[in-house]
């Protein structure tokens, strides 16, 4: 059990070193100071909260590198789609130009 995580899970607005101080003398971590307006949690409560935390981990935003990679992938796809559209429009424009030239040739 990670005592620090458990306390912040149950008291998300708590400020470490101000609202509570943890200590570890080599055996196990424990609450050395408790300044929250709530009773000091028992070991049983802490263990129960730890189990809750394991079942319901807090939301963690995606990694910045992962987000950038996703954005880059989207941009590459958009660029490819634009290049394909540009090619189709270029072909259509060429067809229109050839049609115009052939009409001018017929009328001349």
Q: Which CATH number do you get for residue 42?
A: 3.30.56.60
> What domain range includes position 12?
3-55
Q: Are 90 and 46 members of one domain? A: no
Task: Please count the structural domains in the chain.
Answer: 2
Structure tokens at 33: 């100071």
Q: Supply the pLDDT for residue 107.
A: 61
Q: Are 70 and 101 members of one domain? A: yes
For residues 4-12, average pLDDT = 93
Q: Are 9 and 49 members of one domain? A: yes
The separation between CA 18 and the C-alpha centre of its own chain, rounded to angstroms, equals 29
Residue ending a domain, among 34, 55, 76, is: 55
**Global pTM value:** 0.53
> Are the C-beta atoms of residues 17 and 33 closer than 8 Å to each other?
no
Q: Taking Cα atoms as reference points, which of 5, 3, 95 lies closest to residue 58?
A: 5
d(CA 52, CA 45): 11
Q: Supply the pLDDT for residue 64.
A: 85
The residues, ordered by sequence, that sit 6+ positions from 38 with a Cβ below 8 Å of its Cβ are: 11
């Amino acid at each position: 059990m990670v005592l620090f995580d458990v306390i912040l899970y149950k008291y998300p607005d708590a400020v470490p070193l101000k609202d509570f101080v943890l200590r570890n003398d080599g055996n196990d971590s424990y609450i050395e100071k408790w300044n929250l307006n709530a009773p000091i949690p028992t070991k049983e409560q802490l263990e129960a909260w730890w189990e809750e935390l394991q079942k319901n981990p807090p939301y963690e935003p995606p990694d910045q590198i992962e987000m950038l990679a996703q954005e880059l992938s989207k941009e590459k796809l958009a660029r490819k789609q634009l290049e394909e559209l540009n090619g189709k429009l270029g072909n259509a424009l060429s067809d229109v130009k050839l049609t115009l030239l052939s009409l001018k040739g017929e009328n001349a």
